[in-house]
Amino acid sequence: MTMTAAAAAPPPKRQKLHGRAFYESIGSPKRIVAPMVDASELAWRILSRKYNADAAYSPMFHARLFAETEPYRRQSLRSAPTSDVESSQAYDGEHKSDRPFLIQFCANDPQHLLAAAKIAQHHCDAVDLNLGCPQGIAKKGHYGAFLQEQPDLIYKLINTLHKELDVPVTAKIRILDTEEKTLAYAKMVLDAGASILTVHGRRREQKSHNTGLADWTYIRYLRKNLPADTVIFANGNILYNTDVEACLDATGADGVMCAETNLYNPAVFVPVTASFEERFPRVDVMCRQYLQIVQDVTFGVGNPITELPKEQVREHPSLSSIKSHLFRLLHAVFTKKENHFIRNMLAKAHGSKFEELLKMAIELERVVEEQLKLTPETPEQWEEIMKEAGGSGADAKVLPIPWWRCQPYVRPTPQQAYENGAMQKSKKQLKDSKRELDTEFNPSSNTGEELPAKRQKLNPSTENTKQVDQVANADPNLQSN
């Protein structure tokens, strides 16, 4: 069944709920997988739900391309099967394995957005508008966070869906310069018809190595100043399971959305009361579970593996995204030089040849088992690691989790990124740095009050500052929108 055919013969119209009534109708989810470009596809959502995610979003789709281009639609969503032969294959929005499910679009034209949403609404519980993407492609395409200066357009985009769709509309935003401006922005989005407001506690310019901490106080401010029945999801600063509860407590949000850390440890939503084994699963176990889900989604449960042409691989998002997922899952494994051969196996593998990925998984299992024979794990070791757990934001600790267990990726600080060549300073930054150094060695040109601040900025040498910087640059949600 094509997406066009699905749109031509929609299922019976259901009752449309709004706001908290809608939220409660989908089970009041608290742990939500974020919309991530090429990363929150069907197989990954199924895996995340296995590890306690309550709801999930699709990857971000481009509304105009989705509405106008059938190949793009086929690559974005898999429709329900049309025969008993295909019934073993999962599809997007399947009620048994993929709900609650929200589909996210980026758009800057209300009619393009409506056309795409009308097709997608039969696959999901709600349609979400991306107002948070801070990346250069969003600036070039004029969508995401780069619509902030056009409140009238944002209102029309949301309100059009609110009036015309059979399902609710939701929206994901970033905070603005002040709490008051952010509150006015949030009120406008809600007045336009959004049933759920997701708030990423970072500003538009906070991205890449300059991500910094998400500001939960902004989300708390919104909670206190918006109507009590407003449904709010908080996003940002999630490294460990403990951060989920900490975020709920600090913000008063109804749910917590997680992006990047979910990609490195899908068990991030497992309760804090669970065992260390459950909260930080072995990478070989997680890899094997994920591959099995991709196999079932791609070929059907119990069906043999076949080699697919490249054009068919592109129409299977769960298959075409597999290598990027595995590189993230295994990032700690690859910090060990002796494991680089596994990285090379993964790099050379092709999505069209699934057996190559299974061979890599076998080698990974062997390596982990050999490591555990050399250094057996004990409950005492786990307890020692977990003593450091807890805290959020600048108080969070980076836990010394062994490489054979799933764990978050902690991004280098800006200074480390400059030193290892991951970032290059612009001409303006170089001039500013030279000016600051000149000022440092010529203090007579500044007041005594300014000088200590400049010295502190140039010499963040204390261990505490290093630790804060390390955590501040974690979970920047580069894929999240």
- What positions carry a catalytic annotation? 133
Chain-centre distance for alpha carbon 274: 23
Q: Is 107 left (phi over 0), alpha (psi -120 to 50) or beta?
A: beta
Amino acid in position 187:
K
Do 123 and 93 contact (CB within 8 A), yes or no?
yes
Do 390 and 214 contact (CB within 8 A), yes or no?
no
Residue 263: closest CA among 29, 26, 102, 476 = 476
Partner residues linked to 62 by β-bridges: 106
One-character DSSP codes across 362-410: HHHHHHHHHHHHHS---HHHHHHHHTT----GGG-------TTB--PPP
For 433-464, b/e burial (b = at least 16 CB within 10 A) is: eeeeeebeeeeeeeeeeeeeeeeeeeeeeeee
Q: Is 319 left (phi over 0), alpha (psi -120 to 50) or beta?
A: alpha
Using DSSP's 3-state secondary structure scheme, residue 431 falls into helix
Chain-centre distance for alpha carbon 354: 25
**Tokens at 314, concatenated:** 């592109």
Q: Which residues contact 369 (CB under 8 A, 6 or more apart)?
A: 284
The CA distances from residue 38 to 31, 108, 334, 387, in Å, are 20, 21, 22, 36
Residue 116: closest CA among 103, 98, 125 = 103
Backbone angles phi, psi at 57, to 5 degrees: -105, 155
Do 65 and 72 contact (CB within 8 A), yes or no?
yes
> Is the Cα dihedral 411, 415, 416, 417 positive or negative?
positive
